Structure 1
Amino acid sequence: MKNICVITGGGSGMGLATAKVMGQDHYIIISGRTVEKLKKAIDELTELGIDAEAFACDVSDKKSVEKLAKHASKLGCIKSVIHAAGMSPNMADAEAIMKVNALGTIHVNDVFFQYMENGSCLIDVSSMSGYMIPEIIMPNKHYKLSRISHRQFMKKMMQRVNLLPKKHRTGVSYGISKNFVIWYAKTDAKKFAQKGIRIVSVSPGLFETPMGEMEKEISKDFIEKCAIKRYGKVEEIAYLFRYIADKKLSYLTGVDILCDGGCVASQLS
């Protein structure tokens, strides 16, 4: 049986860098909306001698996630899932961002819970933006609806987003969705532990990725306020993911790890 590592959003940036690290001792499945867009990533991994394949998956569609999980489980034992798929403020409208980032996390966690086994680890990728939206804006009292009705959950999230002026809605939707990811991972810890599965969220700061490049006009001002005044390298967070997923960290679960060069901490000083 192969040890499987599934990486959503694995075609570039953090996801691809993580595939290169995890591929040293795992069979890699990277997913994205279309297999065609993942071909270059697979070619890179193959050149490095890494066994990998691409699988089409839209995380905002639960049935699509189910197909990915079923496929992965047939190939071996799913040892780790790195859920890195997401949309930034410049990639889509506010509702699409909420669907991919928030509903996508719900679907990945809920579906892969059914297929993962004792000793495995799921990592949800959030963002330091989840820490930066003012508390008064956060609709966190409605997060519990995510476990009752996805329709009602989305309605409450978008009601809050739409209170803001249009020019701010994508950014606020992104921040709320990433704050939700942190909450969902933490509140899944008890359930996952019943099967011996660990779940951790990671909140990256400003990294050199294609997504990060799209946000540089906004993010360059944050760099000057960070403790470490540079963009992070994708390899730096890829090794963090690998370390978290290692079974040697078998007591680590239900927490968020902020990897942002001290950007959030610097706002407090």
Structure 2
Amino acid sequence: MGNVCVITGGGSGMGLEAAKILGKNSKIILVGRTVSKLDKALAELKTLGIDAQSFPCDAGDRESVKKLADYAAEQGTVKTVIHAAGISPHMADGEKIFAINAVGTINIDEEFAEIMGEGSCILNVSSMSAYMLPEANIPRQLYQLSLQSTKAFLAAANQMLSAVPEESRTGMAYTISKNFVVWFTSRMAVRYGKKGIRIVSISPGTFKTPMGEIEGEQAASFALRGAMGRLGEPEEIAKMMAFMVSDECSYLCGVDILYDGGSVAAMKAMQEDKAQQG
């Protein structure tokens, strides 16, 4: 039946570009919540001769993800999962952002690890914002809850968010949820590595994608002040994703790759220079 590659958030942007590369050697299952977007992406892949299909799924809903994993396993050997689905501070309230970005990652990783085996890889997509959370502010006790009860984890996260001013809530939810993705990736890698499943993550900077457009001028200006002074092209990160999940990276496990054109490096350099001057 051949190898299967599942891509959440595959209806556009970097997920779709990754599908164009990985579809050369695998059957693609594009996953998302918006059927019309999936249909459009599917048509584009089919014009390229790629064997692809779509499956509507809400990553934040455990039962929905379980159905997706079961379906994918019926289509062949699930070799690769790229979990690119997520929402930014401009797309929903804090609670929804946390539920999709953080709980969605828990659901995808745990359900797919049950049906994947030796030589497979799960790639979670975080964000460079994960690197902007000061070490002292990382809520590690909250993160630990995710290993015991997703329900308790989400309830504690919502309680934490409700304690901050409303205007700061979405930004905080996004930053912490993406920092959590990096943390959770490392923990899942330890849990499932002996089974032969590599779990890694990538933290994109600002790219020319639909989500990048929604994030607006502030995100763009951050990229323009970065080391490379430009926004990234979706094809650039898609190539990196494809490399990370390939057998050529068979020893890459439990780590995050910051793929941001040097934006975080430029920010840290500026902060250090300012501290020296002050």
TM-score (norm 1): 0.97
Summarize the Cα distance change of 1:168–1:182 in structure 2 as closer, same or farther, 3 Å threshold: same
What is the CA–CA distance in structure 2 between the aligned matches of 1:242 and 1:267, rounded to whole Å?
Answer: 28
Report the equivalent of 2:169: 169
User: Which has more helix, going by share of residues?
Assistant: 2
What is the CA–CA distance in structure 1 between the aligned matches of 2:144 and 2:84, rounded to whole Å?
Answer: 23
What CA deviation, in whole Å up to 9, does each residue of 1:66-123 have, x standing for no partner?
A: 1111111011000100000001111111000000000000000000000111000000
Report the equivalent of 2:223: 223
Report the equivalent of 2:179: 179
**Counterpart residue identity of residue 5, structure 2:** C
Report the equivalent of 2:273: none
The alpha-carbon deviation at position 3 of structure 1 amounts to: 0.7
Native 8 Å contact 2:220 2:231 kept in 1: no
**Counterpart residue identity of residue 11, structure 1:** G
What is the CA–CA distance in structure 1 between the aligned matches of 2:163 and 2:217, rounded to whole Å?
Answer: 25
What CA deviation, in whole Å up to 9, does each residue of 1:103-153 have, x standing for no partner?
A: 000000000000111000000000001111233443222201001122221
What is the CA–CA distance in structure 1 between the aligned matches of 2:215 and 2:75, rounded to whole Å?
Answer: 37
Secondary structure of 1:194's counterpart equals helix
What is the CA–CA distance in structure 2 between the aligned matches of 1:122 and 1:154, rounded to whole Å?
Answer: 23
Report the equivalent of 1:81: 81
**Counterpart residue identity of residue 116, structure 1:** M
Report the equivalent of 1:191: 191
Report the equivalent of 1:124: 124
Report the equivalent of 1:54: 54
The alpha-carbon deviation at position 249 of structure 1 amounts to: 1.4
What CA deviation, in whole Å up to 9, does each residue of 1:143-170 have, x standing for no partner?
A: 0100112222112222332332211211
**Unaligned 5+ runs, structure 2:** 270-278
**Counterpart residue identity of residue 176, structure 2:** I
**Counterpart residue identity of residue 18, structure 1:** A
Report the equivalent of 1:146: 146
Native 8 Å contact 1:133 1:172 kept in 2: no
- 1:4 equivalenced with 2:1 (yes/no): no
1:199-238 aligned at under 5 Å gives the runs: 199-238=199-238
**Unaligned 5+ runs, structure 1:** none
Among the aligned pairs, what percent are the same residue? 51
Native 8 Å contact 2:224 2:231 kept in 1: no
Report the equivalent of 2:16: 16
The alpha-carbon deviation at position 267 of structure 1 amounts to: 1.7
**Counterpart residue identity of residue 211, structure 1:** M
Secondary structure of 2:235's counterpart equals helix
Report the equivalent of 1:91: 91
Summarize the Cα distance change of 1:134–1:160 in structure 2 as closer, same or farther, 3 Å threshold: farther
**Counterpart residue identity of residue 179, structure 2:** N
Most deviating of 119-128 and 212-221: 212-221
What is the CA–CA distance in structure 2 between the aligned matches of 1:86 and 1:242, rounded to whole Å?
Answer: 19
What is the CA–CA distance in structure 1 between the aligned matches of 2:156 and 2:242, rounded to whole Å?
Answer: 35
Most deviating of 29-38 and 76-85: 29-38
